[in-house]
Amino acid sequence: MNIVLLGPEDTQSEIWSIHSKRQLQHLREHLDITVGQNLKVGIRNGARYVTEIVSIDEQEVCIRPIREEAVPAKLPVHLIVALPRPKVLRRLIMDSVTLGVEKISLIHSYRVDKSYWQTPFLQQIDNYVTLGLEQAGDTIVPEIQMYKRFKPFVEDVLPTLISETSPAYVAHPYADESMPNGIDHACSIVVGPEGGFIPYEVDLLTKNGCQAVSLGNRILRTETSISYILGRLFS
Ligand code: SAM
């Protein structure tokens, strides 16, 4: 946790309060906080500040903002990813948010187990987003959407996301073309499920404007491929 993220409701007066159990535990166990110490704090969907700790007790840590700081810029990326296993979903959302993805769409595909759409982990997405933002020192919550039907998403939604200045790439290990690197424009990235996209899905994606691109002949895990793609595209 590199900033403490508070809701606008916690920052209404001159003195702000940190009272979430998780955040208090982290401050006590990892930062060994003392009164007078500076603490980086962000307001959800708002500014980020250096604050000073004014009091500490069992229930809350009170802080006072000292000065505003810049919030890290996002990457101009819409990540479209087939819904992974619940355990992977947590890491995937946290890491994508930490890396600065602007928008995330979770989609169905043939090799996504239908039961994943019922997992209670999906209700936890907001918490994973908070953890990702706190790790990065970011405050701006990315837009997250879910599409439980592959074909309508690819045929009706995907084409509206693609333009000359904002292409879409589907990461596919068996594509002939390589994923570009060092780009300076926005884009959408489509990443497959743990079992990969079936040929019909890759065909439908490319017919609807996606460029199929490979990352080489090593097959990466879904979450590893996302970190690699973002590093490569925006190096
Ligand atoms: N057995 C699957 C296959 O052969 O397609 C592996 C799927 S991989 C675990 C999950 C997703 O990560 C893929 O659908 C793709 O989007 C992305 N990916 C992994 N390695 C890749 C590579 N070398 N090139 C392009 N995409 C890759």
Q: Which of 88, 179, 225, 230 to mutate to test the pocket of ligand 1 (most atoms within 8 A of CB)?
A: 225
**Does the predicted model carry a pTM greater than 0.75?**
yes
* Residue 137, ligand 1, Cβ within 6 A: no
Ligand 1 centre to CA of 217 (Å) is 10
Q: Whose CA is nearest to atom 6 of ligand 1?
A: 196
Res 53 pLDDT > 90: yes
- Mind listing the domains of the chain with CATH numbers? 4-69 (2.40.240.20), 75-234 (3.40.1280.10)
Res 235 pLDDT > 90: no
Q: Dump the DSSP string for 31-75.
A: I---TT-EEEEEETTS-EEEEEEEEE-SS-EEEEEEEEEPPPPPE
* Residue 205, ligand 1, Cβ within 6 A: no
From the alpha carbon of 190, which atom of ligand 1 is closest?
A: 16
Residue carrying structure tokens 């590199």 = 2
Measure the CA angle with vertex 41, ends 235 and 229; round to 5°. Answer: 20
pLDDT digits (tens, 9 = 90+) for 148-197: 999 999 999 999 999 999 999 999 999 999 999 999 999 999 999 999 99
